[in-house]
Each structure stands twice: as C-alpha cells, then as structure tokens.
Amino acid sequence: MLWLFFLFAGALAAQDLRNVTEPHLPSKFCATLEARFSAEQETQFDTSRIQGAIDGCPAGQAVRLAPRGANRIFLIAPIHLKTGVTLVVDAGAAVFASRNPRDYDLTPGSCGVVNRQGHGCRPLILADHAADSGIMGDGSIDGRGGAQLLSQSVTWWDLAHQAKITDQQQSCPRILVVRQSDNFTLYRITLRNSPNFHVSVDRANGFTAWGVKILTPKTARNTDGIDPSSSTNVTIAHSWISTGDDNVAIKAGSNGPASHITIEDNRFYSGHGMSIGSETNGGVSAVRVHNLSIDGADNGIRIKSDRSRGGLVHDVIYEEVCMRDVKNPIVLSMHYTNLAGSKIPDYRDITLRNVTSVTPGISSILGLDKENKVRVLFDNVFAPGKAVAAHAEIKIGPRSGDFVASGEEVIVDRDSSTQGHANECQFPAFPAIDGPSAKVSVPPEDRTIYVAADGTGEYSSVQQAIDAAPEQGAFISIAPGVYREVLTILKPNLHLRGASSDPSKAVIVFNKSAGDSNGTFNSATVNIRADDFAAENLTFANDFNATHPQLSQGSQALALSVTADRAQFHNVRLLGNQDTLYVGSKGCSPGNGEPCIATRQYFERCYIEGNVDFIFGDGKAWFENCEIHSTPHQGGFITAQGKHYAAEDSAFVFDHCRLTAAPGVHDVWLGRPWRPWATVTLANTEMGDHIAAAGWREWHPGETNYLETVDYSEFRSFGPGAHAAQRDPHTHKLDSFALTMRQFFGDWDPR
C-alpha cells in the first residue's frame, strides 16, 4: 500500500542531484523460489538456494521469493547481493533471520557477545561493491532481534541492553549493510525487529529508499532505521520508520563527506528523530528535509557532534516539519559527548522553515564555545516549551514564530516583519503490515537514565540527565568518563550510580572556589539540596588547586555540599583540599527564633581527601569504613564541626575508619570547633602518625574559647596517631561505643 497523502508523485525537487522518481518492481526474474515453511523453525535453511539463485542471476534481473499457500517463511543465515541483481520478496512472504550467533561470526565466537571490542558480526544481507542491486517487494525481512538465541538464554536486544548498563560493546548483526554499492534501491520492503541497525549505507553514490516500512519496538536499543554514512546522492522518501534509535542518521566520518541528501515525505514514530551525526568530521552538506512528521520520538530535528568527531555541517534545510509528543523537538548541539579532541564542530547555514511542534518539549541550541557557535535561521518556527541555548547566533525571520532562546553568548537577530502561523499538522497512523511476523519478546521500558561521556548513553551530561528526570526521582547510571560540570540536585529520590565498581572511573569535577564564586557555599562541584539522595561508585572532585595556589583566603573549593536529609554515599571518592565536604542542616536562623532542621547523611566505604577543615558543617553525618586522607599542607584539620546553638541536633561519627596522609604530611589535627558547640566521635578508628598528639585544637587559639563547650570523644583509637595519653584534656575517652544507627538517625536506617 503506497501513500495516499503525497503532495506529488513525480520527480523530487530537492538536493539529491539525480532525477529520482518512484522506482518500479522488476519485470525479469531469473528465478522464483517458493516458501517451504509455515511456522518458525531452526533446522532447515533457505540460505544456499537463495544465495545460489543470486549468484547465478544475470545483471538486470531479479530473484523472487514467493509464498506458497500457507507456507510463507524463508529462513536464512547471512547472504550477499550481486551487482545488478535485485532480491524481491513478494507480499505475504517473510524472510526470517537465523538465531544462531555462529552464523554471523566474523571470527570464531565473535558474534552474540558483549565485550570491549564489539563489531564481531556479519550482517544478514550484505551488498559490497554490488552496484545497481536492491531489495524490493511488499513482503518483509525480520531480524528476530527479540527472539531467544540458540544455545543462549538471551535475545539480541538483551545483549544490547547488557552492553549499555555495563558500558561495553555489543556484537549484534544488522539486517542490511550497503557498502560501496552505487545506485542501490530499497522499494516497498518492510524491515522489522533488527538486532542492530536496520540499514547501514557506507560510501555509496546513489541510494534510494522509497515506500519502505521499518518497525521495531522503541525499547530495542541501537536499532537505527536508515543511516547513510559518507555517501552522496541519497534519497529517502515516502517511508514509515518506527524504531528504538535514530530514525534516520546522516553520518560523515573518516571515510569522507555526506552530501546531496534528500529526506522527503516521510513519517517517523518512536525513535531518536531526524539526526545528523555524531560523526561529522568528514563534512555534511546539501541536505534537504521536507514534509516530515515525527510522532512520539525522543528527539525531532537533531544535529549532534563534539570535539572528538566534529566537522563542518552546512547548507542544511528543514521545511514543513510537524512534531507531536517529541521530548526534544530541536537539538543542535556540539556537546554530544565530553570526549576531548581537535575535530571542532562547525554548524552554519542551517535553516528551519515552517517547523511546528504541537506539544511542548525541551529544545537545545548549544555551540561549543564563544569561538565556535551554532549559526541557524528560524523562519516560522513554533516549538513551545523550554529552550536551552549557549554560544549561538540565531536569526529569526522573515516570519516570526514562538521560539525564544537566550543564554551565554547567544545573539538573536530578529529580522521578522510578519507574524508566522503554525503548520496544520496531520499524524497518520503507522500502516498495517501484511505477512508473518517473528515471535519476539519486546524489551520492557528501562526507567534508568543512562549517561555516557562518549555519547553512547541517552545523555553525555549528568546535569542534563538530572534535568530530564521526573520530579518524583529516578535512577541515573553514569558510564566511565570525566564529566566537567557542576551538578545541582533539586529533585528528591535521585540515585546516581557509576556503572563501574571502581569510583575513579566516573569523575564529576569542576574548579570553582570561594574567591571566584562569591563565597565557599557557591563553590561546590556537586550540590545536594533535595532529600533521599543516593550516590555510589562515583568521584566528586574540585580541582581548583590543580591550577591555583592554595591561599589563606579564597581557596575554599567544595567537592560536595549536602543540605539534604537521608542522603547516602557508598563507595564514593571526594577530592579537594580546603573545605572538601560540607554537610549542613536546613533553615537555620536561630537569631530569628527559627531552629536548625537536622539533616542526616551516611557515608560508607568512601574516600575523602583534603587538608584544611575538609569535613565541616552542622549536619548529622555517619562515616563508616571510610578512608580520610590528608593532602600536603603545613598542618591541617580533618573536621570543623560546628553547631549554631548547644541543643542543635548535629554530630559527626566516624566508625571503623582509617586516617591516612600523603608522604611527608604531619601535624594534622582531628578537628577544631567551627562554632562554640561541636560534637565529633571517632570509634574503632586507625590513625596514621601524621595525627597531632593532642588531637583537637581551638578554632583560633588565643582568640576563641570553643573547646570548653565541645563534645569530642574517642573509642579504641589505634595506630601510631592514637596518642591516648597525650590527647587534649577536653577529649572524652569512651569505655564503650554502643551507639546504633537507629539511635543516631532515628526513624532512618540507611543500611
């Protein structure tokens, strides 16, 4: 069934330099093969007879696969196409892919696994240097991505998900790879349930997909629809694409540019939208997207790249685009990943004309920096909702819409003399598909939000993931990488977890200080202000002193600030120097008669380093099995606990911790009282020889007299820094330590 709503059926007036019109089915067949199976089975294959027919077919003719009565299924392992030969799958017939990973191995055992290498599979169908070939017909090709693999208790899609959560690579086959095969044609065929990309086009001059249907569950990872890469003269027209990743992604990597590409009269459903990138270092140009509807995708119009793979993207026009229920209608970002590199993205001559999102979303226009801006024209663009922008030059006109953006280094030039009008949008349903469909298990919706610095997750920025999380909270998985950004947590029930058990693999770091941020409490890399927060397997760091000397004033540089109740940290590293960790109460205005509201924090198996007052505040914090490490400094203080008034419910407890130091560090004090009242208990704690014998010191000796009112206590301190007989006389030497978590935290037990 072809389109009923074409604006025209003749030649496409767009950027493909060929005169592309609707293809037609072949009239000459060298062989017609009839289906032998009516149900799924894995014992008899049609691979050899189909491959034999293709190999023996003269150029200019076709091999036809036809149903026979109730028999409609062809079962195949990988095959390859031949120059000038078309494979036709008749209506009612379906080609099913083998479920045996060994059939796809590039090397023995390389397919159907998750590891660091990936890319271990042959595609189901390969056209390699096979010019003028194609796949046509009203039948279907089913990759069976959600069917259980032979000799394994998982599906291809399960492997893709496993790779995502473990930050590794999957080896799953693609349905069709077109490699250096000019003038390849896909016509009226249905592709469904691919284990990986449905169609990958590489270095082709002339590729046409017309009237193609691609249907795969939205929860099936990395199942791109059609990806033309380093190719020219490409037309994708009158097609329906609903999948689990990019509906269409134009790429240009080291194999060369992508240019003269037409995306005309298409309908996208679930997926990641109409994308360019992330590889753009080969250059992308002369792209025309016209008459596109996007219904229910995560992204709409998207150009994505970064320093590791960026290049020139220009002469790109989107016209007559309608979107509905799209989370991110417009995304033009040079920050797809946090990877370093010298391949700088350059987006210019980008035009959006007559673009309408009928539902609100979040749009992003993000240049790299002030020297490398996004340059885009909006003519009659309606995209309600929030817009995030930085380092961009946005021209609006000649017709204005409702798109509003502002931000750092954003220049908006309004050259609009008339008010535009939103498109009258229609969103037709995905058409029915005839013929048998493989039995697949649809992956459940994974509510985890995935962040990866290399762009393989849903977000490359942790704060972006936090912003996208629902108001009631979420679980955010963070892949290894360095995330140079400031985090602010204002939503409750957020759980941040590093994908690796080694917390040094995922590092969230920034370099603000009290001197350049208007005070210590504005310097934190990570700010936790909402209750019921959890973090594990992560590093929070402030590296201000990596590039600045540590001075007596202005060098306070927080790695973590917590003013939230029921916050817990497991296997987390906190790196800084002065004032590394602040744990604080809420609502303190005792001078106005407003008491401090106690907040509770639990740190387990954590590593915390610093030198001056590097664990401070008036929170109610318990540290268990943690290493507290003193960095180089002339003297130092581990704690600076301080209460606003004597009865404030606030204390630090260190239980079964280790106090260590960098070589040469000495004269480190267990703490000093930040205010006249302070409570700190160390139990069963091993102390290195860097600890000063007296242990505790006055805030400012000779000026303050806070030690008279503190509650500093120790139980079974041991190691060369214990010095039990030499402790300051204000220290309480406990005969027992029976305090339980419940007694300390009340109605909350984080264990």
Single-letter amino acid code for the residue at 456: T
Catalytic residue, from 272, 290, 570, 690: name it.
272
The total of other beta-carbon atoms located within 10 Å of residue 351's CB is: 17
CA distance 364 to 464: 11
Q: 712 near 685, Cβ under 8 Å?
A: no
Per-residue CA distances from 235 to 20, 260, 275, 391, 480 (Å): 8, 9, 15, 33, 38
Strands (E), 499-619: 506-510, 526-528, 534-536, 539-542, 560-562, 567-570, 573-575, 581-583, 600-604, 607-610, 612-617
The total of other beta-carbon atoms located within 10 Å of residue 348's CB is: 14
Full 3-state SS string of 416-457 = CCEECCCCCCCCCCCCCCCCCCCCCCCCCCCCCEEECCCCCC
Per-residue CA distances from 257 to 176, 205, 332, 590 (Å): 21, 11, 19, 66
The residues facing 487 across adjacent strands are 526
CA distance 724 to 533: 37
Single-letter amino acid code for the residue at 420: G
The total of other beta-carbon atoms located within 10 Å of residue 119's CB is: 12
Q: How far is CA 599 from the centre of its chain?
A: 32
Could you say which DSSP state residue 26 is in?
Answer: -
The verdict on whether 413 is a catalytic residue reads no
Q: Which two tokens stand for residue 236?
A: 């994708």
* Buried-state track 416-450, b at ≥16 Cβ within 10 A, e below 16: beeebebbeeeeeeeeebebbebebeebeeeebbb
The residues facing 132 across adjacent strands are none
The total of other beta-carbon atoms located within 10 Å of residue 656's CB is: 13
Catalytic residue, from 46, 105, 138, 245: name it.
245
Q: Which two tokens stand for residue 671?
A: 């703490």
Q: Strand order in 481-484's β-sheet?
A: 481-484, 506-510, 539-542, 573-575, 607-610, 627-630, 658-661, 686-687
Strands (E), 499-599: 506-510, 526-528, 534-536, 539-542, 560-562, 567-570, 573-575, 581-583
Q: Determine the 3-state secondary structure of 745 from DSSP.
A: helix
Q: Which of 541, 525, 653 is nearest to 601 (CA)?
A: 653
β-pair type (140-142, 184-187): unpaired
Single-letter amino acid code for the residue at 626: C
Single-letter amino acid code for the residue at 537: N
701 Cβ contact partners less than 8 Å away, ≥ 6 residues apart? none
Q: Which two tokens stand for residue 223?
A: 């199942």
The verdict on whether 245 is a catalytic residue reads yes
CA distance 213 to 641: 65
Based on the number of CB atoms within 10 Å of its own CB, is 160 exposed (0-12), middle (13-18) or buried (19 or more)?
buried
Task: Compute the CA torsion angle 132, 130, 106, 228 (nearest 10 deg).
Answer: -50
Q: 727 near 543, Cβ under 8 Å?
A: no
Catalytic residues: 245, 272
